[in-house]
Amino acid sequence: MQLTSIEQLMLLQRLPQTGIAAYWRVLEQFSNLNTVFEVPPATLKGLLHEQARECLLALQKQGESHPLLQVVRKNIAWLHERNIHIVHIDNEYYPSLLREVKRAPLLMYVWGDPTLLNLPQIAIVGSRSPTTGGRTNAITFSRGLAEAGFTITSGLALGVDVAAHQGALQAKGRTLAILGTGIDQIYPARHVHIAEDIVAAGGAVVSEFPLGTGPLPSNFPQRNRIISGLSCGVLVVEAAVKSGSLITARYALQQDREVFAIPGSIQNPLSKGCHALIKEGAKLVECPEDVVEELQGILAFKHTELVEKHVQAPISRDVGGEHSSDEERILTYLGYDPVSFDALAEGTALPTGELMARLMTMEIKGLVTNMGHGYARVRS
C-alpha cells in the first residue's frame, strides 16, 4: 500500500482514540511514518490505543479498499478543489514560532494565504459577552495594531474575537482566524460571512482538526495553544477569572510570549481576569501604541528574519493564485530603483497599514525587496 506523507498524517489523525499526544509518541518512536503502517500493530502497544491498533491492522489487510483511506483521499480532493492548503510540520509555510511549541500540530488546514502564518502576529482574545467598552477596545486595539504592521490572530468566537477580526478588516490589515472545529465547520455558523471576508481581504482561516470535526469543548483549549503559539504576544481585552482567554494567556506565558491586559472597573466581573494577569506580571496597556512600543523590536527582527529566509529559499510566486489588485497597483508603481515608503503610499493611495502588510507579504513571495532606503521590484 503506497501512501503519500500527507495521507499518512491524515490517517494518523483519524485513527480512533488518537490525539495530539499519541501522534507525538509515535513520531518520537518512528522518524519514518511509513514504519507505522508496516509494522505489526501489536508492536505499537503503549504508543496507540487498542482501537487504533485494530484499525491499523484492518488498514494493512484491506489496503486501498479500507473505508478510512477512502475518506482521507476524498478529504484531500475536497481541500484541493477549494484551494485549501494542507501545511504539515516540515512544510516551508509551517510557522517557525509554532514549531517551537510542545506538541505542535502535525497538520494545519489553511483557507487563504499560508504565508501569513509566519508574519508577526498579535493575538487578541477576550469574553464572548463583552461590555460595549470591551467590544470597542477590541476593535480599536486591533485596528491600531494592524495599521502598525501586525497580523491580528483570534478565534472567530462571539464577542471580543470577532471584534478583533473586524478591527483588522477595517484597517485593511491581515487577520488569522484559528478554529476549534474542522475547516469545513465554521463555528459559530453565523460567522461564516466573517470567515469569507477574512479570506477575501488576504487573511486566512486555520484549523488543525480533520474535516467534519464539530465544536467539541475539549477542542477549544487545544485551539488556544495555537493562537498563542503563532503570536509574538497575546492581548486580553476582557475576561473572567475562569475563562478560555486566561487559558490562552497562560499558554502564552509557558511559550515565552508577551502578555498584555487592558484594565477596567473593579466593579466589572470581566475586568477581574485582566487584573489577575496584571498582578501576575502581564503588561498593563491603555492604547495600541503601548503594545507597539513593547514589540516593535520583535516586529523589525521578525520582518528581517522572514525576508532573509525567503531570499535563500523563495516561496513560489503562485502562492495564493494571481496577484491581488493591491499587489498589482504596487508593482505597477514600482520600478527596479528604490522608492521610499512615503512616496509609495502617496502614489498607490493605499492606507499605511494596508501598504505595510502588502509589502511584507510581497517580500515573502519574492515580488519586491526592501533596500533599506526604499522598495523595488525583484528582477525576474
Asked if residue 315 has pLDDT above 60, the reply is no
Predicted local confidence at residue 313, as pLDDT = 38
Predicted local confidence at residue 98, as pLDDT = 93
For range 7-34, the mean pLDDT = 87
Question: Using H for helix, E for strand and C for coil, what is the string for 60-117?
Answer: HHHHHHCHHHHHHHHHHHHHHHCCEEEEECCCCCCCHHHHCCCCCCCEEEEEECHHHH
Candidates 218, 209, 166, 160; CA nearest to 186 is 209
Q: Which helix (H) or strand (E) holds 132?
A: helix 132-147
Question: Predicted confidence band at 64 (pLDDT cuts at 50, 70, 90)?
Answer: confident
For residue 256, list its beta bridge partners: none
Q: Which residues contact 329 (CB under 8 A, 6 or more apart)?
A: 348, 350
Percent of the chain topping pLDDT 70? 91
Identify the burial level of 25 via C-beta atoms within 10 angstroms of its C-beta, where 0-12 means exposed, 13-18 middle and 19 or more buried.
middle
CA distance readout (Å), 134 to 139, 161, 171, 238, 239 = 9, 11, 18, 6, 10
What confidence tens digit (pLDDT) does each residue in 103-144 have?
A: 899 999 999 999 899 989 999 999 999 999 999 999 999 999
Asked if residue 52 has pLDDT above 50, the reply is yes
Predicted local confidence at residue 346, as pLDDT = 85
Predicted local confidence at residue 326, as pLDDT = 81
- Name the DSSP letter for residue 150: P
pTM across the whole model: 0.80
Predicted local confidence at residue 211, as pLDDT = 96
For range 350-361, the mean pLDDT = 75
Is the preceding peptide bond at 188 cis, omega within 30 degrees of 0?
Answer: yes
Give the position of cell 478529504. 75
For range 348-369, the mean pLDDT = 77
Predicted local confidence at residue 308, as pLDDT = 56
pLDDT, mean over the chain: 88
Rounded Cα–Cα distance for residues 263 and 237 (Å): 8
For range 18-22, the mean pLDDT = 87
For range 44-55, the mean pLDDT = 91
Candidates 122, 117, 129; CA nearest to 88 is 117
What confidence tens digit (pLDDT) does each residue in 318-349 have?
A: 333 455 678 888 888 888 888 888 788 888 88
Question: Predicted confidence band at 312 (pLDDT cuts at 50, 70, 90)?
Answer: very low
**Is there a contact between 122 and 235 (Cβ–Cβ < 8 Å)?**
yes
Predicted local confidence at residue 26, as pLDDT = 87
Predicted local confidence at residue 334, as pLDDT = 87
Grid cell digits, residue 81: 478543489
**Is there a contact between 271 and 241 (Cβ–Cβ < 8 Å)?**
no
Q: What is the residue-wise DSSP string for 295-346?
A: HHHHHHHHHHHHHHHHHHSPPPTTTTSSPPHHHHHHHHH--SS-B-HHHHHH
